[in-house]
Amino acid sequence: MKVLVTGGAGFIGGNHIHFLLENYEDINVTNLDLLTYAGDLSKHEKYENDSRYTFVEMDIADREAVLELFQQNAFEYVLHFAAESHVDRSIEDPSAFVRTNVLGTQVLLDAALKNKVKKFVHISTDEVYGELELDGDDYFTEETPLQPNSPYSASKASSDLLVRAYHETYGMPVNITRCSNNYGPFQFPEKLIPLTIQKLSNGEKVPVYGDGSNIRDWLHVSDHCSAVDLVMREGVDGEVYNIGGHNEKTNLELVKTIIKEMGKTEESIEFVKDRLGHDKRYAIDPKKIEKLGWKSKYEFNEGIKKLIN
């Protein structure tokens, strides 16, 4: 089985490469990554001499290079994790997000179509759905309309629609997965959980946007990887699958949990000016993928304790 993983030097893509190599003997994994600021290959050191693993430094928006890579390799599956993903950075410079997330996805789709891959799995985000009310009890489903509120989520929604269009127009075998907030090993410390752990470890204040009431659903990256793998193997062509952990926490609750686990005090919290267009609440209904046979394994308090350790 020949698999192309884009963004494999990043957090989720990197963890998924480990998942593949740990669970499949008869596999060849190519890691395509541009090695931007959040890319780090040190997580793959134990596989550097593994004949099943190859790294290629490449920009997914470089059409000629990507087409040549596909022509040289008979990829059967494309798992597209590569993306600019930090909301704050998208507010500062939306153009980089459009180039990578929209144009880069279209280049990959073209290459995958021309080379007749068996499945193109596009890893997206629950942020494309917009926001839910803080005091509500509703959830994002696969039928929830797309209403992105940040340049980042708008670029991801755009790429989702391109993937759908390649299925509807060309009959290309695709799936889209939309996950809730991931946590786990190797996450770049601009994101809330590793940032909090790092700040507390260094005796620094932990910044919390606004009053910390914004709610997120947290999913361990290992659970996410098992879900993506199931979709790659058994997902119905053209379908969207939401992947959520049913671990809803306010940002303030989350930070307090980490503070308690690390033996620190709440004096470490520093409330800062809220993010522009900050979505109130995300929550995913994962019933559809559960019917496919997936279930999350990590209970949040167990997962966060293991991560801190």
The structural domains of the chain, with segments of one domain joined by +, span 2-184+218-246+283-298
Contact present, 65 and 32 (Cβ < 8 Å): no
Show the CA angle centred on residue 51, arms to residues 46 and 52, nearest 5°.
Answer: 85
pLDDT of residue 38: 81
pLDDT band at 89; cut points 50, 70, 90: confident
The span from the CA of 172 to the CA of 11, in Å, is: 27
pLDDT classification of 240: cutoffs 50, 70, 90: very high
* pLDDT over 90, % of the chain: 89
User: Which listed residue (127, 131, 160, 279) is catalytic?
Assistant: 127
| Catalytic residue flag (residue 166) | no
pTM: 0.94
Question: Which of 77, 152, 183, 241 is an active site residue?
Answer: 152
Instruction: Give 92-139 pLDDT, tens digit per residue.
Output: 889 989 999 999 999 999 999 999 999 999 999 999 999 999 888 899
- Catalytic annotation present for 126: yes
Mean pLDDT of the region 211-216: 94
Among all chains, which residue has been given the structure tokens 């926490």?
249
Catalytic residue, from 33, 126, 131, 217: name it. 126
CATH number of 2-184+218-246+283-298: 3.40.50.720
How far is the C-alpha of 147 from the C-alpha of 172, rounded, in Å? 25
Assign 3-class secondary structure to 76-118: CEEEECCCCCCHHHHHHCHHHHHHHHHHHHHHHHHHHHHCCCC
Residue 262: how many CB atoms within 10 A of its CB? Answer: 13
pLDDT the model gives residue 36: 85
64 noted as active-site residue? no
CA distances from 263 to 37, 185, 308 (A): 31, 21, 12
